[in-house]
């Protein structure tokens, strides 16, 4: 059984065309996260088929394969990982979830999929932005609109005390500011 798993993992590395980490040792978690970031569906599928858990966190940042696939916009990989049991609530070392990664990078289709599967729209990480604050900071108006439609609180401050409105004002993002002001009015009624 162990040899079978080793052969499958080796085949995944060879098929992905990816090199082993520079120190010569790459953990399963690191390899899984790397394959997800690169969009290597075959390599990722081989690892998952060999019994590797989609919940493994790479040690440096604590990101899972789902975090990386979401951040890079690999929709098919996000779907595969969710089918194989990846958690929408998994947190990296700062407390950020895959939804926050996708919001920061402006991955609209990924946000839609994660919300459809029940991602927590108002998750408050221990450090860093919420999904809404990340989208406001980066100027992703379509994502702000999606998050508000999904019930995101327009006044929720992140771990640093930054509200979505303040984040939008930092970037002078008039369209986003207008969306948030409207949402704040509606939530006050």
Domains and CATH numbers, the chain: 1-87 (1.25.40.20)
Q: Categorize the per-residue pLDDT at 24 as very low, low, confident or very high, splitting at 50, 70 and 90.
A: low
d(CA 164, CA 171): 11
pTM of the full structure: 0.85
User: Degrees (nearest 5) of the Cα angle 112, 118, 124?
Assistant: 95
Q: What is the pLDDT of residues 151-179, one digit of tens each?
A: 999 999 998 999 999 999 998 889 999 99
The 10 Å Cβ neighbour count of residue 15 is 13
Q: Is 154 helix (H, G, I), strand (E, B) or coil?
A: coil
Contact 44, 80 (CB under 8 A): yes
Q: What is the pLDDT of residues 63-120, one digit of tens each?
A: 999 999 999 999 999 999 999 999 999 999 999 999 999 999 999 999 999 999 999 9
d(CA 36, CA 141): 26
The helix-helix angle for 141-149 and 174-188 (nearest 10°) equals 10
């Amino acid at each position: 059984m162990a040899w079978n798993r080793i052969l499958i993992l080796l085949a995944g590395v060879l098929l992905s065309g990816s090199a082993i980490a520079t120190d010569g040792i790459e953990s399963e978690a690191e390899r899984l996260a790397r394959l997800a970031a690169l969009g290597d569906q075959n390599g990722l599928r081989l690892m998952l088929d060999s019994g590797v858990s989609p919940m493994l966190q790479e040690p440096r940042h604590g990101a899972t394969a789902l975090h990386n696939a979401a951040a890079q916009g690999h929709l098919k990989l996000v779907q595969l990982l969710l089918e194989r049991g990846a958690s929408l609530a998994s947190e990296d070392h700062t407390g950020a979830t895959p939804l926050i990664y996708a919001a920061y990078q402006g991955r609209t289709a990924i946000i839609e999929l994660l919300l459809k599967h029940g991602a927590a729209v108002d998750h408050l990480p221990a450090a860093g932005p919420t999904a809404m604050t990340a989208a406001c900071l980066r100027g992703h108006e379509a994502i702000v609109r999606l998050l508000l439609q999904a019930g995101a609180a327009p006044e929720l401050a992140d771990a640093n005390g930054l509200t979505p409105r303040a984040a939008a004002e930092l970037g002078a993002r008039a369209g986003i500011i207008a969306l948030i002001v409207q949402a704040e009015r509606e939530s006050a009624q």
